[in-house]
Amino acid sequence: MISSDSKPTFKYLSVASERFQQDEAPNMFFGLKFSFARGWLLPVLCVAAAVCPTSAEAQVGVKAGLVVPIVGEPIENGVILIRDGKIEAVGKDLKIPVDYKVVQAEDGVVMPGIVDPHSSAGMSQANEQNSNVPFLSVVDSIDPSSPYFEQCRRNGVTTSAVVPGNSTMIGGRSAVLKTAGGYVNDMLLVRDAGLKISLRPIRGSRMSHLARLRRELDVAKRSIEEELAAEKKKEDEEKAAEKKASEKSKDDEKKDADKKDDGKKEPAKGDDSKDDKKEEGDEKKGDDKPEEEEAESLRQLKRLLRGEQEAFVYCDAPMDVAQALTLSRQYGFQAKLVVDADCYKAAKLMADADTTVILDPNLVFWESDPRTREDKKVVVTKVLDDAGVEFVFQANLGSSPQSIGSGYFWFQAATAISYGMDRNEALERLTLTPAKLLGVDEFVGSIEAGKDADLVIYSGDPLKIDTWVLKTMVAGEVVYDRDKDDKLKRLLEEPQS
Amino acid sequence: MKRDFKFIGRIVRPIVAVIACFMASHAVTSAESVLIEAEYVHTMNGKTLSPGMVLITDGKIAQVADAIAVSPKPKVIKVHSVMPGMVNAQSTAGLVGSGGEASREVTPEFDTFGMIDFDSRDFREAVDGGETTVHIMPSTDNVIAGWTCVLKTAGSDPEARSVVQRKGVALSMCSDPAGRNRSRSRPDSIYVRQPTNRMGVVWIMRNQLQRAKYPSQGEAGSATGPLAEVLAEKTHAFGVSRTGFDIQTMLTIAEEFDFKPIIVGGHEAYDVLDELSQAGSSVIYSAVQASVNGSEGSELFWSTPTRLRESEIPFCIAGDGLLERMRLAVRFGLTADEAMSSVTADAANLLGISDSVGKIAVGCDADLIGFSGPPTEMTSALQWVMVGGEPVVGQEVAK
């Protein structure tokens, strides 16, 4: 009874979602250059390369006083060769060919660019009024000229996951970008980097927030189940038809085969294949927007439950960690936990879940026991390290930090080191670990042949207090040069009064 | 010239310490003694010993030298770097409630010392961050807010923790006092009063100083009040001013009434360096370093401490999270020694308490902090904090 009622709705929804995809298609075309991560786009890659010629990617050789490649031992007086935006070779006694442009950093330390695992600063508004907007994508909200990206380049961040804010229940899809570029599509590394889900109740109680979230996920789950049931039904019918057909004469057989082909088209609608969707999408052009949004929301949630995309789940309180893990298990989706500082109390849960969590920028704080009023200093990195939780740092780049320090990744790492973290471990957690977490370690996160030439040249030890970023390179191009940073000069040198 | 309200003990103790140290240098047998062996002793008293040793007896520094031989050997603490405990010249630690009196705008007799919660977590946070002495100022909601006080951040006995109960008078030469008042409202509110804007603040301040300077017969008491002491240069005046304009106004008023205020805040001090220099004023610099603009929209320059140093204006760095501020000052242009000095010896000099705190010198209180590496590096751990020779943070390391 229920299934027959909802069937037509589903049919309609899937048609609407196809249309959305079609609308999206032109945008994707420009984004192809950096969309390597999505395997199904590979066939079109060569076309993209031809259509979007990259700006004069010269061959570059970087001479560094010290190369800290993250993977492998540091190399003194190392050379990094860059060809077409990629690292060609790293080593000690490499000869720089004559046609290579030389970047001199003999007194500097070269590290891979920092990877910001979670930031809402690059988008114009982090949170939506509507608390359930899985149909949205941050790509539409990213302003390449925003101060955030400038700050990133100034501070050696070359890759950033821009994720919707923590105050929207289902906040839309994230993207992983390079921090340099004039147009968002030129910056994209992963267009579709995961749905943001927040467990922070904005309106109403925690109970109702979770109930609403479950309701949305349930709708998607049911829709998938119905889809599967419908497919199975169709298959059964087809089998039955085949059986019948084999009993019939050859003339009749041909007729049946035509019918079969028609029938096969319908269940394919929920899939991502685009070819035969365009026409049907065009037919539906007069539709209401809210329904369209609803359809796209459902499609995105279904993608989540099918494992076609992951989720960033923000945990506002320790109890949310348990909820996030339960939701992820119950509905079968992959969750990257973004945890508030107080979530250190759920350290054991996080350790058992064997997941890499994204920490709050606030790493050290004080709290009072509500009953005994005993004061306690909490060092989040230490608690989590002791519990065996893998984590990466967040910094307040671009938004207003509690202190000037917590705005910088080097500061976060240095803080953790002062409370006992291993130095190499800390550096890895600024680069390779977040790259792995975001699934982009194939391209960024370390200085290895074949990876993108995203390099940062520091004036000295990257974690020393008076070390500055001298140059930042993205894909072999210098995108930040301290000598030309007038804003920084104004902050540091004699003001013009 | 400056009158510090010290306990008699405060005067006697250094003498005792000197005697103690005299004895110590010959033959120390006291069980109370602790010897600190450090790769670097940042004395803030002219030189850094590398390596160096500091002998502590009865809560005081008894001897500072490259090597100290004591028999029998006292308890030894080994550490990479040791420096004096930090002196935070602008703190609100322990203040209960709003930190200011709401009933009137002018409360010069108001005593900050009287409203300190000595058990407050603020002190634990301060001492954990390496601050051993704090200068506590009342809130800036009053034009003339009252007496400030200087305290140690640790110790069980509140009386013993007091360094100076009445250090100076806090004046708010900024827009803060105008913030809570209004000119038109229900007439039964106390906030229907002046000042409602900045010129009101200036008017009240000038008016009060006028009264202190020329007391009429009806107000005979004023001549002996806190403001009269300021005018007689018997006590400090701490003028909270952040924008260049407010600093200028504070200096103008001070010139009119002939006293030398210490500018507190000083975010835009870079803009009035000449005026500060001419007035012979000093600055407790406590710009909020988090955002591009400070409170009251003041423009921030990371290099302000460097500018003050170049202009030879006495200054210290103050405010919450002092350790981080000290370290960032190095990032923004001070040398490591200057930065360390700006939160220890310079602050103690400015507050007139340098005979007991702010440096590692014989006779000073044994307020010390130990680091696992250079104190100005973020990667160095603050391993232990000692107040009056007692380890209060990192006891396990220090014992």
d(CA B24, CA A420): 37
B239 CB neighbour count, 10 Å cutoff = 29
The mean of the pLDDT values for chain B is 86
CA distances from B361 to A236, B1, B56, B70 (A): 93, 24, 11, 18
Residues of chain A contacting residue B333, judged by C-beta atoms under 8 Å apart: 492
Residue A206: the pLDDT is: 92
Q: Which of B164, B172, B161, B228 is nearest to B204 (CA)?
A: B172
Choose among B290, B303, B380: nearest Cβ to A403. Answer: B290
Contact present, B340 and B42 (Cβ < 8 Å): yes
Which tokens sit at B372?
A: 């696992």
Q: What is the mean pLDDT of residues A400-414?
A: 81
- At position A425, the amino acid (one-letter code) is E
Mean pLDDT of chain A: 82
The position carrying tokens 């229907």 is: B192
- Measured in angstroms, the CA of B320 and the nearest CA of chain A are apart by 10
Indicate the DSSP class of residue B236.
Answer: E
pLDDT digits (tens, 9 = 90+) for A96-126: 999 999 999 999 999 999 999 999 988 888 8
Tell me, what's the pLDDT at B73?
83
Give SS3 for A222.
helix
Q: What percent of chain A has pLDDT over 90?
A: 65
Which residues in chain B have Cβ-Cβ distances shorter than 8 Å to A490? 301
User: Comparing B124 with B25, which gets the higher pLDDT?
Assistant: B124
Residue B280 has φ and ψ, to the nearest 5°, of 65, 30
Confidence band for B289, pLDDT divided at 50, 70 and 90: low
Q: What's residue A9's pLDDT?
A: 34
Q: What would the two tokens of residue A252 be?
A: 């009749």
How open is the CA angle B159-B163-B169, to the nearest 5 degrees? 110
Whether the ipTM is more than 0.95: the answer is: no
pLDDT given at position A114: 97
Order of strands, sheet of A390-392, starting from the edge strand that comes earlier in the sequence: A170-173, A195-198, A311-315, A335-339, A356-358, A390-392
By CA distance, what is A417's nearest residue in B?
A: B379
Distances (CA, A) of B156 to A36, B59, B208, B390, B392: 64, 14, 39, 11, 11
> What is the pLDDT confidence band of residue B181, given thresholds at 50, 70 and 90?
confident
8 Å CB contact of B328 and A493: no
Tell me the average pLDDT across B174-188: 80
Mention every residue, 6+ apart, whose C-beta is less than 8 A from residue B209. B227, B231, B253, B256, B257
CB B148 within 8 A of CB B135: yes
Determine the Cα–Cα distance for residues A295 and A302; give it in Å rounded to an integer: 10
CB neighbour burial string for B366-396, b if at least 16 within 10 angstroms, e if fewer: bbbbbbbbbbbbbbbbbbbbbbbbbbbbbee
Comparing C-alpha atoms, which of A487, A485, A453 is closest to residue A469? A485
- Label residues A455-479 b or e (16+ Cβ within 10 Å = b): bbbbbebbbbbbbbbbbbbbbbbbb
First-to-last C-alpha distance (Å) of chain B = 42
A59-101 per-position pLDDT tens digit: 999 999 999 999 999 999 999 999 999 999 999 989 999 999 9
Closest CA to A408 of A468, A344, A483: A468
Asked if residue B213 has pLDDT above 90, the reply is no
> Residue A339 in contact with residue A359, Cβ under 8 Å?
yes
Q: What share of chain A is helix, strand, coil (3-state, %, to 5)?
A: 45, 20, 35
A369: nearest CA partner in chain B:
B121
Give the C-alpha separation, A173 to A297, whole Å: 11
H/E element holding A16? helix A2-31
Cβ-based interface (< 8 Å): residues of B facing A: 121, 124-125, 128, 270-271, 289-291, 299-303, 307, 321, 324, 327-328, 330-333, 372, 376-382
**H helix and E strand count, chain B:** 12, 18
Confidence of residue A20 (pLDDT cuts 50, 70, 90): very low
pLDDT of residue B397: 60
Q: What distances in angstroms separate CA B96 from CA A129, B119, B150, B322, B368, one per listed residue? A: 39, 11, 16, 21, 28
- For residue range B327-361, list pLDDT tens digits in order: 999 998 899 999 999 999 999 999 999 999 999 99
Closest CA to B262 of B337, B167, B138: B167
* Residue with the larger pLDDT of the pair A243 and B377: B377
Q: How far apart are CA B41 and CA B51, in angstroms?
A: 7
Digit-coded pLDDT (tens) for A345-404: 999 999 999 899 999 999 999 998 889 888 899 999 999 999 999 999 999 866 555 667
Contacts of A366 in chain B (CB under 8 A): 121, 124-125
Name the interface residues of A facing B (CB cutoff 8 Å). Answer: 366, 368, 375, 377, 400-405, 407, 411, 414-415, 417-420, 423, 463-466, 490-495, 497
- Those residues whose C-beta lies under 8 Å from the C-beta of residue A284, and which sit 6 or more positions away, are A15, A16, A19
Rounded to whole angstroms, the Cα distance separating B369 from A45 reads 60
Which residue from A45, A47, A50 is spatially nearest to A34, judged by alpha carbons? Answer: A45
- H or E element at residue A101: strand A101-112
- Among the residue ranges A71-85, A319-333, A480-494, B256-270, the one predicted with the least confidence is A480-494
> Which residue did the predictor score with more confidence, B219 or B347?
B347
Contacts of B381 in chain A (CB under 8 A): 418-420
Question: Given this model, what pLDDT does residue A24 score?
Answer: 40
**Mutation choice for B interface testing from A365, A377, A404 by most B CBs within 10 A:** A404
Closest Cα to residue B311, out of A488, A468, A495, A467? A495
Nearest Cβ partner for A404 among B290, B299, B333 = B290
Bigger pLDDT: B311 vs A254: B311
> What pLDDT is attached to residue B292?
52
Rounded to a whole number of angstroms, the distance from the CA of B377 to the nearest CA of chain A is 6
Interface contacts A/B by beta carbons within 8 Å: 76
Q: What is the pLDDT of residues A423-473, one digit of tens each?
A: 999 999 999 999 999 999 999 999 999 999 999 999 999 999 999 999 999
